[in-house]
Homo-oligomer: A and B are copies of this chain.
Amino acid sequence: MSQKIYVGIDVGGTAIKVGLCNENGDLLHTYEGPTETNKGTDAILENIAAYARAIVAESSYEWEQVGGVGVGIAGFLDIPSGYIKFAPNLKIRDVNLKDYLEAKLATKVLVNNDANVAALGEAWAGAGKGIDHCVCYTLGTGVGGGIIIGGKIVEGFAGMAGELGHIAIVPDLEAIQCGCGKMGCLETVSSATGIIRMAKDAVERGDRTTLAQVTDIMAKDVIDAAKAGDEVAMRIVSRAAYYLGRSMALMAVVLNPECFIIGGGVSKAGEFLFEQIREVFEKYTQKEAKDGVKIIPATLGNNAGVVGAAGLILRS
């Protein structure tokens, strides 16, 4: 009964996912409950605490074995203090989540942003297992990122490290404005949203593409069309891959990670996408900074968040 376990919580707008890990990052048990965002901040906080208790109660472990609780959450945080300045998708403002949960759960609690936590999950127990120095991309609605050095998350002065989606990588002459207000951010071209936008633009201007027959184009449609040989779709996917590869060439001389891990919906395009990214990385990266460096898919899927959150306690 002396084995320690770690609770990882991934707070999303719809569901709160919880995982129990051992000290190796093995996912022992999972639990999921509704966030109930519509019921307001107090209800959300109570749910987080209740689900943490529930997963341990459901498992074969005792609460006394819990070595700590980690939480991943999207929003503007003061990471060291565990303070939520603003979590837009939860409509939570000005709450100290760490203090709240430590009082409720009587164990150490650490809070970090969702992209950092997912990166830590992959680095600790996923695609990067055994690698202390990696850079993770999550290609979803935006492009999320997380940087792991010496096995730990790099948070930055104001928690803004690893915001890889906001690297200004598209040259000014070809750039469009990002949601953040700046021009040419990576996520304007390499996120699902970016891919969909480029596809819709192509259809609207009358490019000859099978995507013109698709109503409500999704990123997967563009990738499937590209794989089937549609030239317009191929150009769009190549552009997404090109700027990812260029951003990795930058990372290689800044951080020289041992591996780049790519997850998120768009990464499901698989080797078709990865080969294009590797080709660009190979072309634009100095020899010493690319030798032996791997660009590989994430392996934990939707569990990266709960595993990484559990890992916060051991890797801080």
Q: A residues bordering B, Cβ < 8 Å?
A: 76, 133, 147, 149, 154-164, 166-168, 171-173, 180-182, 246, 249-258, 284-286, 288-289, 291-293
Task: Indicate if the CB atoms of B168 and A249 lie closer than 8 Å.
Answer: yes
Report the bound CA distance from A300 to B161 in whole Å: 27
Contacting A160 at CB < 8 Å: which of B154, B160, B164, B288? Answer: B288
Question: How many whole Å from A106's CB to the nearest CB in chain B?
Answer: 29
Report the bound CA distance from A221 to B71 in whole Å: 56
Task: Indicate if the CB atoms of B286 and A166 lie closer than 8 Å.
Answer: yes
Report the bound CA distance from A155 to B156 in whole Å: 17
Return chain B residues, CB-CB under 8 Å to A154.
Answer: 149, 255
Return chain B residues, CB-CB under 8 Å to A164.
Answer: 253-254
| A168-B246, A250-B167 known; A256-B286 Cβ under 8 A | no
Return chain B residues, CB-CB under 8 Å to A147.
Answer: 254-255
Report the bound CA distance from A160 to B286 in whole Å: 9
Task: Indicate if the CB atoms of B253 and A160 lie closer than 8 Å.
Answer: yes
Task: Indicate if the CB atoms of A292 and B167 lie closer than 8 Å.
Answer: no
